[in-house]
Structure 1
Amino acid sequence: MNRAVALRLGAFAGALALAFGAAYAIGTAVDPIAAADTTTAPAHGEEMGGMEESAAGHGEGHSESGGQLPGLAVSEAGYTLTPATTFYQPGTKTELRFTIQGPDGKPVKEYTETHEKDLHLIVVRRDLSGFHHVHPTRDANGTWSIPFTFTAGGTWRVFADFQPAGLDRTLTLGTDVNVSGLYIPVPLSEPAGSYSFDGYDVTLAGTPVAGKESELTFAISRGGKPVTDLQPYLGAFGHLVSLRGGDLAYLHTHPAQEATAGMKGGPEIKFATTFPTAGTYSLFLDFQHAGAVHTAEFTVKVGADGSAIVPPKQLPTTKAPATKAPATPGHETTPHGH
């Protein structure tokens, strides 16, 4: 082999090495599992992704050193959300099944209870319609399952909110599932200070500021009268899930006041939460009254320097769309959505 040929072969081999190296780097950067497993997330209770505890309430979540927010990755800290299938038919009751794979590659069987449950499951379509907060059951092998009906075609996001035994913080993992059929996106409602459904009127007041703790106050009335006998639900008088438009980053917030059997709450429920960035968020408030769990929905636009939600009387009322399902008796084993 002459010198010229040898030089050409050497240059070709070098180019191949560079190409494979670049491809590996790109693949690692975009793989949510690889990205999640290469760093250690801060312990529960530290400020995490703009969410921290306060006297008025607390937001549960975590972020990695790179700023990863809850619900954006399918795997974190060695734990992976693994659905039994990612393909479903609309309008048909089916079994939604999944496992949480632990660092050893086996289904997790031991959990630390949070808010009276080992795991909270949130299911919502990517356009933020069809919100459900449900609680599946776990068998002896570590498989979670719940009867579930996907109401329409499209891509749906499934969030598992839980704390594995031995881990000092909660995790929220998210994955997409596909529902066949015609996809007709539902536009978000415009920001409003009041939401009316099933005879209830829920008003919202507060001043959310991106990156800073904000207090939000929900006031509940029925038939024009304040509701003063809210019932405890999962250890609180209200649960608030906020999802960021676009990527559906997840914030789960509970009020500071604990609620036990026999206690009565209302008409106001206060939360302190931190919206990590400016943008549009969908807020879903769960509360229990007269033996049934209800969900109020709000759209909030958060600015970088404060976007006040002005007093409800100055804003239009958002009515629950007629196409959405009525409230179910509870969230324990059946889907619930509005």
Structure 2
Amino acid sequence: MNTAMKLSGFALGLAAVFGAAYGVGHVAGPVTPTAESRHDDTTAETEHGGAGDAGHGTEAGASGRLPGGLLVSDRGYTLVPVIAPAGEFAFRITGPDGGPVTAYDVAHDKRMHLIVARRDLSGFRHVHPELGSDGTWRVAAPFGGPGVWRAFADFTPTGGGPLTLGVDVTVPGALTDRPLPPPATNATVDGYTVTLAGSPQPGRTAELTLTVSRDGTPVTDLEPYLGAYGHLVALRQGDLAYLHVHPDGAPGDGRTRPGPAVTFFAEVPSAGAYRLYLDFKHGGVVHTAEFTVLAGAATAPTGGPAPTGGPTPTPNAPAPTGAAEHGEPGHGHD
């Protein structure tokens, strides 16, 4: 059964809206950013940042660039959702010439990383679409139930620098906003306990170490996943500014051990509440541990932000079947 969906681009300073039906309807056309949001070659690129890949993370006021994922169009590249059969999500990246991009560099074993999360920061998924000859990326729909979801396309077009573009996807239906869990330094997932040491600091690099154990025993045989022993995504509560971090060291480099500790160097763009999502692989399965952390002078969150541009939440409505909850294991990796 086709699920009606509205696709809307959301970006700071970007006045453009995508409209389409999910499974039926028409292809959403390219979006041209406003003069205020258009980035050109004089704007500092959003780079993957060296050791630890601090990457995608400082505010425009400090470095001349916005955090990743806030724009649907950047440096001439635009994320365009397109019509897809029921149960599938599809999109294209159009380039400066207006045509679909078909050449991408491999970054962390993949040419495209698609990360989705509900705007209340629940339901996180990290998946890898397949590219068709016409420049269309396709993947089994990663959205876990009703709500307003943010989809982040993290990629490097051949001949260009790394980019993260974002678009909102609204899945209609009864829903309740899920409060952001309080800050914590321990998370459990699938029988594993992950402990966080370190605290993010706005505008400067901070060391974050996540240590994995199972049944009280340190896990010392983590398996490489996408070329690393762990991947860390941070999303800022409210606008979902995006930071994709990779760990210090790599499997096989002669110095990096396969656990129990995985160390990252990350720079968050501002004070605020953030949700951290750690992907790690053990026993042939990818697991995701989630944390809420506070950066700077932020106060503890009291609840998730109201969804933007989507259906009005239904108070006291039961959680929809199949919807991903905060901390729910099995986040749809491939």
Give the TM bin, normalised by the shorter chain.
0.7 to 0.9
1:221-240 aligned within 5 A = 221-240=213-232
| SS of structure 1 residue aligned to 2:227 | coil
Amino acid at match of 1:274: E
Offset at residue 135 of structure 1 (A) = 0.3
The one-character-per-residue Cα deviations of 1:32-91 (angstroms, maximum 9, x if unpaired) are 72233244331465xxxxx8544xx122226656542110000001000000159x9xxx
Structure with greater helix percent = 1
Q: Distance in 2 between matches of 1:29 and 1:324?
A: 32
Q: Does 1:287 pair with 2:274?
A: no
Q: How does 1:1-338 map to 2 (within 5 A)?
A: 30-31=14-15, 33-34=33-34, 35-40=36-41, 41-43=43-45, 45=47, 52-54=49-51, 57-61=52-56, 66-85=64-83, 94-167=87-160, 169-259=161-251, 265-304=258-297, 325-327=328-330, 331-332=333-334
Q: Conserved in 1, the CA contact under 8 Å of 2:125 and 2:142?
A: no
Distance 1:30 1:77, change over 3 A: closer
CA drift of 1:152 comes to 1.9
Alpha-carbon distance in 1 for matches of 2:325, 2:37: 40
The CA deviation at 1:256 is 2.1
Task: Please state whether the residue corresponding to 1:230 is helix, strand or coil.
Answer: coil
1:144 is aligned with what amino acid? W
Q: Which residue of 2 aligns with 1:4?
A: none
Residues 75 and 173, structure 1, Cα contact 8 Å, conserved in 2 = yes
Output the CA distance in 1 between the equivalents of 2:142 and 2:108. Answer: 25
Rg (Cα) greater in structure: 1
Residues in 2 aligned to 1:231 and 1:257: alpha-carbon distance in whole angstroms: 14
Q: Distance in 1 between matches of 2:135 and 2:73?
A: 17
Q: Partners of 1:120 and 1:276 in 2: how far apart?
A: 21
Within 2, Cα distance between the matches of 1:322 and 1:53? 33
The structural deviation recorded for 1:237 is 0.3
- Work out the percentage of aligned pairs sharing the same amino acid: 48
Looking at structure 1, the residues matched to 325 and 239 of structure 2 have their Cα atoms a distance apart, in angstroms, of 27
Q: Deviations over 1:95-152 (max 9, x none)?
A: 1100001111111000011111101000111111000000010011110001125322
* Inter-CA distance 149–112: structure 2 relative to 1 (3 Å threshold): closer
- What is the CA RMSD across the aligned residues, in angstroms? 2.9
TM-score, with normalisation over the residues of structure 1? 0.75
**What is the alpha-carbon distance in structure 2 between the residues aligned to residue 194 and residue 299 of structure 1?**
10
Q: Give the SS at the match of 2:238.
A: coil
How many residues in Structure 1 have an aligned counterpart in Structure 2? Answer: 278
Distance 1:236 1:217 in 2: 14
Q: Give the direction of change, closer, same or farther, for the CA distance of 1:249–1:85 in structure 2 (3 Å limit).
A: farther
Q: Distance in 2 between matches of 1:77 and 1:179?
A: 29
- The answer to whether the Cα contact below 8 Å between 1:253 and 1:273 also exists between their aligned partners in 2 is yes
Structure 1 unmatched ranges of 5 or more: 1-27, 46-50, 308-320, 333-338
Aligned residue type for 2:152: F
Contact 2:116–2:150, Cα closer than 8 Å, also in 1: yes
Superposed displacement of residue 279, structure 1? 0.4
| Structure 2: gaps of 5 or more residues | 1-11, 17-32, 301-323
Cα 1:212/1:172, change in 2 over 3 Å? same
